[in-house]
Each structure stands twice: as C-alpha cells, then as structure tokens.
Structure 1
C-alpha cells in the first residue's frame, strides 16, 4: 500500500508523525511524505535547507518531498500566519508537480493546528483519485478562540464553515481523543469519525544504558515536568504549588523543555525566590527515558477550558511509557486516562492547592506503592499506546475501502 503523508512538520523536526511514518514503513507500507522546509521550533530554516527550495530526499526508507515554507520566525501573529499559509499554498500548487507520476493508494493528513493544512491533501486526493484520511489532533475553530489568536465572531464562523468543508471532503476522520468524537461528528456530516490515539515514542523502547541521562537528580522526591512550556500549560498553577511546598526541602520540581513562556517562568522563579524549581532546558527526545527513569513522579498540567478537557496531552503517553507515577493538574480526558490506568493522582485544572496536595500525597507514599503505580502506568501504555500496536491498527484502517470506514 502506497501512503502519502501530508504534514507541515516532519523530520528533522521532532514530531510524532516521524515515528508514525516509520512504523507504517515497518508494517510494509511504501511511505512518502509531502512537507515543508524544516524550521520548528527556532523559526529559522535548518542548516542545509532553504525556505524557498523545492526537492526530495530519502530518510530511513521514506521519500520526502519538500515545498517552500516561510519560516515562522519568533512566532509573531503575522509571521506565523504567513508560515501556515505558505505551506497550504505551496503544497497545493507545487505538491502535484513533485508527485507527478507517483501512484498513491491513500492520502493521510496529520492534522495538527491549523487543520487548514488538509487543503493540499484534499486537492491531491482529487488528482490521484485516492481516499483521504484526516487525523484530527486539535479542535478548530475552538483552538483559535481558546488561545486568543482570534476573537472576532465573524472570522470564527468563517473558519468553522471551512473546517466543515474539510471534514466533509475527507473519506475518514480519525481523532486523537474520545472527547473529540461528538464535536467533530457535528461538523463532519456523513464522513465517518473514529478514535485513533497518538502512540508513544519509540525512544521508550530503549534502555537507560542506550542513552544515559545528561544530568542526575539529587536525593529526595523529584517531580519532573517534561515538554512544552507555553500558554496552555497553566504554569501559574505550578508556580503556586511550588510556593506552598517551598518549606519542604525534600521536594524538588524539575522543568525539562522549552516554549513561549520559559523566560517568563524563569523570571517568576527568581522574583518569587523559589529554590525548589530547577530548569534543565530543551533536550533531545532520546534523553527523555533516562531522565524520567530518575523521577519520583512526572507532572502534567493544562489550563481550564472545554477544549483543554477534551485534549489528551501527548506527554501523557510518554509518562505512561516511562513507568513512573503521574501527578496531573488537568480536567477531562487526560485525567480520565491516568485514573483509569491507576497510574497516579489527578487534581482539577488551575487548582493550586489541589496540585500541592497531590504532590504531598505521592511524596508520603512508600516505594512499593509508587512502584505499583508505575507498573500500572506501563501496562496501560502497552495495551493502549504502544507504537507498533497502533501502527498495525492504523494500517488496517488505511487499507479499508471508503465504503468500509
């Protein structure tokens, strides 16, 4: 089966779609990727690439076709809009030229925000007479409203109509969260909608010796937060909990990652005189298993809101795979999974006292009880999010004919 993945982001950028493509390859699919010139997260084109260039390259048995892409820069609103629009335009008009003569059985859109990047997939599906499968990773236009990127009701209504059109032009829609099914169905009309979660990372099949940790944690109860530190991670809640816990010298919060609010977060730690928060910066994914293996517990947090409660943060899969207890400050689907797995404790979103109490609750547990939580986390991961397992399920979905979806 010849599968074309359409995604604005791909290797050497670090996104989950990289491993999904490799997993499909391992399942016997002939995988091609239509993407842009890599520039995420720094906002400048990677060394060896130019934003205006066109071409193809090979990566681990995959064929990657690249169209021009205006770098996102420092992610200001105008530059970010140009970044998104440039992929839609260039992939729509140059993509068919790059893919001329290529036989394609299925087109698979990795639907990160903005979902508008599915438009090139719709055009290519028409030209290649191939079924289109769109994997929705984020709800639109709700995400525009929640993040504050767009507040004009007329614009949001126009975007909503465009999203409806995209969904209805797809032959099958997959959603990364069970809570996405109802809102997507309302917009998708007759297009079938099915749940397909994000898998974990292949990095977690490695042992600690394969990639030793870049730092060692000190003795005590170490809570590790790994991943993006942006507007929706409710960093205020973490700071508030750290202030409550500052008198307990055995508890340390370790922040690993980057994001739009890292500088603000670091300045707040200094301003508030918090010595129980330690920053380790952005590190390669390959280090994460060894870092998480040292943690007493792993921390995930999200802001309050309907769309946030419907989303499953991708770090939850990584945390479950790490086999460590999880402390969550979030509502909805993410919390449901953690509780269903028996993998940790959950406090409501933006509940500072609740998060502090959750950390204290786990810190008071014995090693055997914590180890039991960790084992339940790993078992749940292997049964629900293991990459090869989900690749097999995805291949079966892709192999179906439109009438069978």
Structure 2
C-alpha cells in the first residue's frame, strides 16, 4: 500500500507573523493536519511590519505541523523596495530548494499568491518534478500591480507575466478563489481552454471564539481611548494603495462637529497619504485618529471597540482582491460600511445578509449620510450588527472553510478527522 502523500504548504507568511495571510495559512495548515492530512509548511523568517521579527529556527513544530524556514535573510517590510527584495529572495530560494530536494514519497503542493511571483515559480517546479499543485488566489497578478500603475496594462511585462500566470492556472489541479467575482476574473484569465469547474470558491474566515461582539461599556480598549461616549467608525488593518480610505477621511470632514469619531488602526504604503489628507482637512487628532497595529492579544478588544467597521476597496480592484477584514468586521457584530462597487465580492456579502451599507468609492456625501444615519439610529446599528454576526457564524467561521479545503484536497469520500 502506497504511503499517504505529503501536503506541502508554501507561504511567505506563517506564525508568528501577524499578517492576515500568515494567520490564515497557520489556521489552514493546523486545521488540515488535524483532519488527517500530513502537512509540512515551507516558509520564511518573520518580516511583516506588525509582527514579532525574532528569528525562528530552520525546523520547528507548530501545533503538530512541521515548519521549515529558508535560510535567506528577510528584511522588515518598511518599504516597497524591501518587499521586492524579500519576494525575490524567498521565491528564488524556495524554487531552488524544491527543485533539488530529495523526496521519498508523493508530494502535493499548496501555495498562496504571496509573494506575487510564487504561482509562476511553483508551476515551474511542479511541472519539472511531476507534482500536483493547488493555486490559492489571495490577490491576482499581474492584475494588481498593473491596476496600481506600476507598469502599463497591456504592456510587455503585463503580457509576459500574464501568459506565465495563465500557464500556472491551466496546470493547477485546483484553484481557490475568495469570491464569485474573483472566480469570474480567474476564469477569464485562464482563457478558452481553462476548466472553470476546477475553481473552488472558499471564503476566508475569522476565529469565532477569538473575535466576539462586546459592548463598548465592557471594553477596556474603548474606555482607554475615549470611544465609549462617542459614536465610533473603525478601520483596522493594512493601509494599502488598493484600500480607499480617502473617501472615509473626506466623509469625516463632512461630519465635523457631529458626535462621530473616526479611528484608523494599522500601517501600510498609503498611510502617509491618508494621514496627510486628514491633516489637510484639519481633522487629525480630532475627528480622525490614527493608531499603529495593536498587539495580537489586544485585537479582540480593538476590533470590537467601535460602532461601525469599514471595509474599503479602491475602484478597479473588483475581484482582484477580497478584503479579509470583512470577516473580522462581521465577527465583531458591527455593521459594515463597505466602500466598494455594488458588484464587488465584499459588497455582495454585506447586501445579501443585510449586514451594513455599501457606498461607491468617491461618494463622500453618501458615506457621510450613511454614518450619520447609523449615529442617529441605534436600532439600525443593532440590527445590522446582529445580522453580521449571525451571517458570520453561519458562513465564515474557521472550521467551515477549512472543511471545504479538506474536501477539495483529499476528496469528498475521505472522512474528516478532527483532533
């Protein structure tokens, strides 16, 4: 009888990195291992700007999962240049390691699109070695950098990278999309010969026991930051170029003088621009406050410290990214103000479950009106918040998503085993 295959999860981020990708991939590896798959994680050293950068051993166990870390140096992600260096080192090192490593049994590779070059690299490795692989699309490349203007859409780099990524999609055993709109984009990218039936829509998740609704009167974070008696609108997470926080800050200017506080927690490439915009509007430190990433143990309190949570996606990124903040916001039991197109994956979920309000990017007056309506209607806040938590518990909890990964990878006839 042939030995069970080894499932190899390749991800730049893994525990103790606090990047959302690292948290999700840690949950996935541990969850699949608990369900009976033999999981090994290949990753790098912690380098996310919000995480613990203490160097980790090259081999370790995390909740029963073997973790192997490459020896290449990884720099703290303080700039796009440092990220490019990290991405290149990680991809080249991982490619060489997997190409030449001795393997004694069947190996199946699972990778996430982080770093951006990983799909092409893993397609090459798995093609050479004859391994089956699963492509998890967290962000679509080269779509994202082209949409951000780093190179011309339709130019030489876009066409070459796109053609190689198409090969990676065509060769995959399974492809995971984070929502129906992303699935449509992937299917179009794959071209006429691509089998769209191998795309599995599996949403990201939050741990329903880690984030639970909490009244501001019971929340030390709300009290410590003076949020208890002010209606508070919260954005917490990465402040990237594809997150439209400009609309949120301009809405704050419309509401100046109202009993509304805007709290933006996090770091990222676009934070300086958002801070400058708040300063230009004369709002920083008054209507709009900024805090850095909060310690992991404080997240159950910081994420539930407000009255409304915000998910914001820049125009043109429909299906290119799906914000994992959506699931955290819903877990917190707060209404979700979604700044996105109505047909975006995030907006569709909020609308389907009556869990908040959607406004389009740049619709400043509409965003301000929605916030003002919430501030003056506590019953609406309670209803949308309760709907958000109920929808989360029924659709986006950790075990449900990991069960779907397990069924996809192991097959529907293999019984799920939980430790």
Q: TM-score range by the shorter chain?
A: 0.7 to 0.9
Verify the 8 A CA contact 2:145 2:151 in the aligned structure 1: yes
Q: 1:299 matched to which residue of 2?
A: 310
Structure 1 residues 310, 138: closer, same or farther in 2, change over 3 A?
closer
Q: 1:198 matched to which residue of 2?
A: 204
Q: 2:417 matched to which residue of 1?
A: none
Q: Check if 1:350 corresponds to 2:362.
A: yes
CA distance in structure 2 between the partners assigned to 1:245 and 1:37 by the alignment = 44
CA distance in structure 2 between the partners assigned to 1:149 and 1:75 by the alignment = 18
CA distance in structure 2 between the partners assigned to 1:310 and 1:222 by the alignment = 29
The CA deviation at 1:309 is 5.6
Structure 1 residues 208, 309: closer, same or farther in 2, change over 3 A?
same
Q: 2:147 matched to which residue of 1?
A: 146
The CA deviation at 1:37 is 2.1
CA distance in structure 1 between the partners assigned to 2:110 and 2:271 by the alignment = 34
| RMSD between aligned residues | 2.7
Find 2:13's aligned residue among 9, 16, 19.
9
Q: 1:380 matched to which residue of 2?
A: 391
Q: Which runs of 5+ in 2 are unaligned?
A: 413-419
CA distance in structure 2 between the partners assigned to 1:312 and 1:373 by the alignment = 21
Verify the 8 A CA contact 2:239 2:268 in the aligned structure 1: yes
Matched position secondary structure for 1:157: helix
Q: Check if 1:38 corresponds to 2:56.
A: no
Find 1:312's aligned residue among 303, 322, 335.
322
Find 1:276's aligned residue among 282, 287, 303.
287
CA distance in structure 2 between the partners assigned to 1:33 and 1:212 by the alignment = 36
Q: Which runs of 5+ in 1 are unaligned?
A: none
CA distance in structure 2 between the partners assigned to 1:365 and 1:218 by the alignment = 17
Q: 1:27 matched to which residue of 2?
A: 35
Structure 1 residues 160, 123: closer, same or farther in 2, change over 3 A?
closer
Q: How many residues align?
A: 390
**What do the CA deviations read for 1:166-195 (whole angstroms, capped 9, x no partner)?**
112211111112112222123333442221
The CA deviation at 1:119 is 4.1
CA distance in structure 1 between the partners assigned to 2:203 and 2:294 by the alignment = 25
Q: Check if 1:329 corresponds to 2:339.
A: yes
CA distance in structure 2 between the partners assigned to 1:74 and 1:292 by the alignment = 23
1:169-208 alignment to 2 at 5 Å? Answer: 169-188=171-190, 189-191=193-195, 192-201=198-207, 204=210
The CA deviation at 1:330 is 1.2
Verify the 8 A CA contact 1:257 1:282 in the aligned structure 2: yes
Matched position secondary structure for 1:293: coil
Q: TM-score, normalised by structure 1?
A: 0.87
Structure 1 residues 182, 32: closer, same or farther in 2, change over 3 A?
same
Verify the 8 A CA contact 1:31 1:62 in the aligned structure 2: yes
